Structures are given as structure tokens and as C-alpha cells.
Amino acid sequence: MVPDAAGYETRRAGFQKVTALTTRTSVEKLAGAMPSGGVPRSPASAAQVLVALTHDGKLIAALRTVAAAQYPVTSVGSEVDLAAALMTHSSGVALLDAAAVATPIAQLAARLTSQFPDLVLVVAGGLDDQGALTQLIADGSVHRFLHKPVSEQRVRLFVGAAWRRHEQALSGARAAAATSVPQARAPAGKRWLLAIAAVAAVAALLTWRAFQQTAAPGAPPAAHATPAAVAGDAALENLLARAARALDAGALVAPPGENAAQLYREALQRNARDPRAANGLEEVINKLIAAADAELRAGHLDAAQVLCDAARAVNPEHPRAAFLAAQISAQRERAVLARAQRAAASGDLARALAVLDNAARGAQPSTLATEKRAELVRAQVDARVAQFLQRGRDALEHGQLIEPTEQNARFYIESARALAPEDATVQRAQQDLLTRLLAEGSQALAAGNPDMTDYWAAAASDAGADQSQVASLRENARQLRGAATPQAPAHAAGADSSAVAALAQLAAAPAAAATAVAQPAGFVNAGTLTQTHYVSPRYPPGAELSRVGGWVDVQFMVTAEGSVADVSIVGAQPVGVFERSALDAVRRWRYRPVTHDGHAVSERARVRVLFEAPR
């Protein structure tokens, strides 16, 4: 086929225009990059930006005040935005506020140092953050640590030092580059322009000759343009065209064989020097990251994770993909912790722990989740301890010291002690229990009842009371038995007869009544006081059905107003059956105040509340 001569001339004229335009453009660009003195401006000396990752308005204001117009400040609010800012701006210094990051501060700083080796890092935070960065500060990866709250003076000092370090690094790099090539005589500005114009002209000439050889009419084909090479170029162009169509259609990583990532990768394997394939892969990653970021902002963590994983599959070392993965991980942790906290706030600590356990199952548990789980376990234990102690206090108040089984003060307090043996509140409750048990034994001894004295002494010993006090109680009980005379039973029988007579007089309380017992020093028989209001004790339903009878010895204080206070159980038979009913009734009794010298005074009294078994 004969080439079209007219078409050739048209192409040649067009090429001449392009060549002239290329030459002029190259010169103009160089001229624009040169100051008035004619020395080319280094890209590193262009306007530098300080990127600050912080939510602290005071810190941002201080940075902008000290930086002024010399070093513009760009503030970002997340690690993903930080990555984008570092990739977009010419950033020389970055400031990280530890309070604004989701990734552990040391991990983030180390990652930034490896991915942006020319970046000078300043970190702001507290003492714990400084401790976490000790190694990075020591090896210079973190240039300065700024303690919060910040002052403008310290911000000025630290930021200025960071910029000086950055400038020193740039100066060293320029000096190294200058010594690596022969030094030429410094020409004037116009000579620079002429030299560049000459270079551009030579390049244009070489290109023109190549064009003539391949496009001139009748010119033979180049020696290297073999049929195999032409076929290879056609295959490459086909791959690139299909990849571009897949990219435009949004087929980034699917379907197999016809997605942009796979096609661009095949093109890159065919010709590693073709920039279109590399640029295409970068565009695929950018689109995937943008979509993942949108899903993340919408709260769709799973969808964001899938897209981010796809981007990292294309390029595992891509910095924006790495930052986005860290951000997704942090958001996922926050979501898990939020669910756990909601469950804990509702009182369902078991559910909160299950949420954390499920999140950690099959994956490496995060530090935040591990710490939160430990915190919830402690809260769960604290809640159970508090519950046991409250039940123990209630049992103490109602005289249920060691009965009924597993529902008494000793059981509840020992349960709390098993969970938290070193807890000060538990230890105080244990001591209160021991004091109360020993006091009950002393009261039984004062009432002349050696059997009840031994009963309480044994209970105190089992609970861990001081053995010398327990031994003293038992010895006194033994002496009390030895001092008993043969007339004692008759006296006791007489007392019982008096009690029966007193019981018969209480017509208002046929099932339960109060009777006099021998009183220790300092106490009066409640029967000697004038009662103004009486409430009959309620017979426990279980005892009534079982036809069980018994008695409860109660001591109390009759106040100057005639009310009853400081009610406590002295003894009971059987133990753990009638005490609550007796306490509830005695607390509502009222008496005429005792007077001395015309003044109402308080008086201590004791009474035995009898419960007659139903017939």
C-alpha cells in the first residue's frame, strides 16, 4: 500500500508544532521554577505544611499562632484523613495528639516513621503516652514529646525545633546530591534557559528523525519491529483497553478475568515499564479506598473491611490502605465495646462478657477488648460481693447469724470473702460478724444460759473468732454449770409458771406472747414497764404448718419518748424460725417513758417472746 503523501505532510507539520510547543513549555516550566537570580528552585524548598491530627481546639489555635504564614497548618480528625493529608501535601512536620488516635500511639508513630522517613514527628499527650513512646523518643523516631495541656511558648519551641530538624535533613540531602555529579560553572539565568532549550531541541530532533524513519513514504520498517513485537504490543493495548473499560464500569476486582485490577496487573507483567498499567492499578486502589471510606463513615464496617481487603490485595504496602485498615479495626473495637458497655449498664454483665468473648474468638484479641473484659470481670465480682454483703447486713439486722442454712449472715459474708478476701469492706463485715457472735455468747452467759453460751462460742470459733475469747466463753459456761444448785430447776420451773401466768393474761396474743426472763445487770424486765401500744408477733406460716413452737429473747431500748430502739436478738429456740417475727413486732411496741426526778429517761429492757405451737 502506498502511503498518503498529503497525509504525511499534514502529520509532519503538526509534529513540528508539537515539538516547538514542547520546547517552549519546557523552558517556561523551568523559568517558573527559578527565582530571579536564576538558580533552579528545589522541590523540597516549596511551601511546607504542618499536619496535625487532633481534636483539641486550643492546640490547633496555638499551632496556627506560632506557625503564622511561614508554615501553614492543616488539621485532620482521623487517621485515614491523616494518611490522605500526608500523601497530598508537602508535609515536613506532623503533630499527633494521642487523645485523637484509635491505634496505640507507639504503633502509629512507628508506622508513620517507616512509611514517611523524611517526616519529623511531634507527639502531644500525657505521662502514660510518653512512657509508651520511650523507645521511639530515644532513637529519634519521635523528635519531641509535648505534654498536655499545652502552652503557646512550648508549642513554639517544639515546632520550631522540628522545622529546623527538617530543614537540616533537606540541606544534607541537597549537599549529597550536589557532590554526586561534577560541579559546573554557575551560569547566569539566561544561560540556563538556553541550555535547557538546547536539550529540548536535541530531543525534538531525535524524535523527528524517528518519526521520519517510521512515517516517511517508502521508508523501510525499523529493524527491531519484528512481527512478534507488534503482536505483543497489540496484546498489551488490548489488555489496557479492557482494563480501562472495566475501571469505568466499576468492575474493580470482579468478575474474574474481566476486572480492572487483574487486567492492569497482566498488562504490567507484559510490560513493566508502561506507566499506564501502574497508574491504572493506583486508580483501582484509590477507588476501592474511597468506597471503603464511604462505607466506614456510614457505619457499615463489614462492607468497608471487604473493600479495604481488596485494596490491600492489589498492593499490600499501600499506605492509605494500611491506615484505612487500622481505622476500620478501631471502629470495630469501638462498636464491640459500645455493645458491651450497654449490656453492662443494664446490669447484664454476663452478656457484656459474652460480647467481648465472641469478638475475640477466632482472632487475636485487641488490647482494648482485653482490658475492657478484665474491667467487666472486676465489675461483676464487685457487684456479687456487694450483693452478698447487703444480704449479710440484712441477716445481721434480723438476728439470722448462722441460721437458716445458706441464708444467714455467716454464709453471705463468707461468700463475699471467697470472692474478695483482700477487700477492706469484706474484712470489716467479717469482723462485725465475729463481734456479734461473741456478743451473743456473752449475753447468753449473762442470762445464765450455759448451753446457749456454748452454742454461740462454737459458732464464733467456726467463723474464725479469736480463740482466746472463745475459750473464755466456754470456761465461763462450764463454771456456770458447776455453780448451779439443786434448787435451780425448781426456780426455773417457778419462772416458767410465772411465764405461763403472764401468757394467760395476754388475751390479745393467743399464738405468741411476751414473758419475763431473768435479767442481767443494767436491764429491766419489760413487764415492769407500762406498755401503751402492743403488736402481736406474726406466727411464721412454715412453723404454723409444722406445729412448731418456741421463744425468742429480745433486748431493746425504751427511749425518753416511749418508742423502741436498738432492738436485737439475745437468744432463740429453735434458732432461725421466730426471730424475724419477734423483731418486727417489738419494734412497733410503745411504752410510757420512764421518769427519774421528774424527767423522762431511756431504759434498757429485755423480754422473751413466746410462740405457742398450734393445736
What pLDDT is attached to residue 230? 39
Each residue of 5-45: pLDDT tens digit? Answer: 455 454 455 444 434 444 444 434 434 433 333 333 334 33
Residues 330-336 have a mean pLDDT of 75
Kindly provide the residue ranges of all beta strands, DSSP E only, lying in 352-488, ordered along the sequence.
Answer: none
| Domain 503-611 classification at class level | alpha beta
C-alpha cell at 550: 418456741
Indicate the pLDDT class of residue 179, thresholds 50, 70 and 90: low
Alpha-carbon span 430 to 413, nearest angstrom: 6
Average pLDDT over residues 301-307: 89
The CA-atom distances, in angstroms, between 43 and each of 30, 40, 200 are 12, 9, 21
The candidate with the shortest Cα–Cα distance to 315, out of 261, 367, 387, is 261
Please state the φ and ψ torsions of residue 50, each to the nearest 5 degrees: -95, 120
How open is the CA angle 394-517-436, to the nearest 5 degrees? 30
CA 495-501-504 angle, to 5 degrees, is 145
Question: Residue 508 has what pLDDT?
Answer: 33
Q: Report helix, strand or coil for 226.
A: coil
Torsions phi, psi for 596 (to 5 deg) = -135, 125
Q: What is the pLDDT of residues 462-505, one digit of tens each?
A: 888 889 888 988 888 888 888 754 443 333 334 333 333 333 33
pLDDT (mean) for 430-452:
84
Instruction: Please tell me the pTM assigned to this model.
Output: 0.33
Rounded mean pLDDT of 573-600? 91
List C-alpha distances in Å: 261 to 254, 284, 307. Answer: 8, 6, 13
Task: Give the span between the Cα atoms of 376 and 381, in whole angstroms.
Answer: 8
How far is the first Cα of the chain from the last one, in angstroms, to the nearest whole number? 133
Segment 42-60, tens digit of pLDDT: 343 345 788 999 999 888 8
CATH placement of domain 43-177? 3.40.50.2300
Higher per-residue confidence, 235 vs 230: 235
Torsion of the alpha carbons at 395, 399, 402 and 407, rounded to the nearest 10: -30
